[in-house]
Amino acid sequence: MTDDRDRTASRAESRTSRRAAETSGRGVARHGRLRATGPLGTIGKVVAGALAVVLVSGASVGAIAAYQVRSDLGTGVALPAAKGKTPVVASPPSVDAYPGGFNVLVVGTDNDAEQDEGAFGKRDATLNDVNILLHVSADHSNATAVSIPRDMVVPIPACAKEDGSGYYSAMSARPMNEAYSYGGLSCVVSTVSELTGLDIPFAGMISFNGVIEMSNAVGGVPVCAATPIKDRYTGLDIQAGETVLQGEQALQFLRTRHGVGDGSDLGRISSQQVYLSSLLRTVKSADTLTNPTKLYSLARAAASNMTLSEQLTDLGTMVQIGSALRDLPLDQVNFVQYPGTTEGTGVYAGKVQPITSVATKLFDAIRADQPFTLEAGSEGLGAASAATDDAAADDAAAGDVAGGASAAPEAPAASASGTPAPTAPATGTPTDPAVAPAGPEVISGLTGQSAAEQTCSVGFLQK
């Protein structure tokens, strides 16, 4: 192993020690002070689709604007395969040629040469803090975005060095966010590909500045908070109810870990999905798609703050991806989290341990291009259904008046394809499989939401 790699490992162990001290035995994943870390390329998942949607709307943006956007993208980054793996080949003439749909990996990095160190903190290494795999079905009828926790301990393959001088050594168990330091974007792609068993022909990275500029381009993103959210590490301070996030405040919301859920990376991801769902609704709204100025600003904000793989910088490919995503109903676009737990021991202590049994079901469904459903109340640690919050408040009020009423029956499981999961009759009699219509599989233990679902972030109550 090279000296550079030893130094990187040493820094990682130092960070691990600091996180362990911070957790105080609570068993949740920690990252240290958020001002010195930065997980917010999460928005990047929607950025790829948003940018493509903008380019598809060529009649509004115009040829000159499209040329300027393309110029912002640059030449792209090569994606050499890990040692012993089949290298990435040139993209087919159409995204429709990918059997079982196509996949795009969007990575959010915590270090940018042009970022404001005073606002985001100085970093001695670049980490892939946000990793979101977007799968678009072969018939373009639905899409699923899987967030992979930055603290999840995963195998990292023998990635090609960026200078072409050879390969780094493979590692069996390292935090996901270290992959970038062992081969750049291509190593993150190789790591996620081996973890999920999916081919990933397209990839892109986004910076802190991209998050800020995109929120500004759409005029702000409205988000719901179930409770007040305050985080001294990021500076976020919002009240319960709806807040339109823009600029640095949008970044503070996406970065906050101490302010939401249980204070872990898993809670932060589910809270981020509240923002992403609202962002996508905003991007697909008439106010954006019929406004040439917003379209152009959105395209430039995305293109000038993203680094894309060679295959994704092709304008024709981007337009095809935009065509695939443009007409998707919001209830067919879903955000889920790679199954994991913060209760692991040994190498997983203070980190996120994959729940392989649930992950296997998830990626088997994605590889087969089959829809699946989520259990009711599966929004995650840092989010809750707005309807559930309202119903809970109503039930509490009714209980005060009536002296305690029976709880309402649980709603049907939410569907990852936007339709309710099959449920038993109200009497509790099991549904007869001989006559019940076949429906998507319910994946128990999976958390997430559809882009159409109104959800609220849940503040972290310090103990």
Per residue in 53-92, pLDDT tens? 333 333 334 444 555 566 666 678 888 889 888 876 666 6
Q: Dump pLDDT digits (tens) for 76-87.
A: 888 888 988 887
| Spatial distance between the Cα atoms of 47 and 205, rounded to a whole number of angstroms | 10
User: Residue 77 domain-assigned?
Assistant: yes
User: Residue 132 domain-assigned?
Assistant: yes
| Spatial distance between the Cα atoms of 395 and 393, rounded to a whole number of angstroms | 5
Q: Does the pLDDT of residue 340 top 80, yes or no?
A: yes
Q: Does the pLDDT of residue 376 top 90, yes or no?
A: no
User: Residue 454 domain-assigned?
Assistant: no
Distances (CA, A) of 155 to 128, 159, 191, 194: 15, 11, 7, 8
Quick one: pLDDT at residue 212? 82
Confidence of residue 388 (pLDDT cuts 50, 70, 90): low
User: Residue 408 domain-assigned?
Assistant: no
User: Residue 24 domain-assigned?
Assistant: yes
Q: With H, G, I as helix, E, B as strand and everything else as coil, classify residue 150.
A: coil
Q: Dump pLDDT digits (tens) for 210-257.
A: 778 888 888 999 999 999 999 998 899 999 999 999 988 998 898 898
Q: With H, G, I as helix, E, B as strand and everything else as coil, classify residue 149.
A: coil
Q: Does the pLDDT of residue 406 top 60, yes or no?
A: no
Number of compact structural domains in the chain: 1
For residues 37 and 375, which has the higher predicted lDDT (pLDDT)? 375
Q: What average pLDDT does the structure give for the chain?
A: 74
Please, is 345 exposed, middle or buried when counting C-beta atoms within 10 Å of its C-beta (0-12, 13-18, 19+)?
A: exposed
Q: Does the pLDDT of residue 436 top 80, yes or no?
A: no
| Spatial distance between the Cα atoms of 135 and 452, rounded to a whole number of angstroms | 18
**pTM for this one?**
0.75
Return the bridge partners of 131, or none. Answer: 107, 148
User: Residue 420 domain-assigned?
Assistant: no
Q: Does the pLDDT of residue 298 top 50, yes or no?
A: yes
Quick one: pLDDT at residue 384? 93
For residues 127 and 111, which has the higher predicted lDDT (pLDDT)? 127
What one-character DSSP code corresponds to residue 312? G
Q: With H, G, I as helix, E, B as strand and everything else as coil, classify residue 35.
A: helix
Quick one: pLDDT at residue 408? 31
Q: Highest mean pLDDT range out of 65-74, 91-100, 403-412? A: 91-100
Token code pair at residue 293: 């100025």
Q: Does the pLDDT of residue 401 top 80, yes or no?
A: no
User: Residue 74 domain-assigned?
Assistant: yes
Quick one: pLDDT at residue 241? 95
For residues 338 and 305, which has the higher predicted lDDT (pLDDT)? 338
Quick one: pLDDT at residue 227? 94
Q: Residue 197 belongs to what domain range?
A: 3-218+288-371
Q: Does the pLDDT of residue 363 top 80, yes or no?
A: yes
Average pLDDT over residues 118-127: 61
The CATH number of residue 330's host domain is 3.30.420.590
User: Residue 260 domain-assigned?
Assistant: no
Average pLDDT over residues 270-297: 82
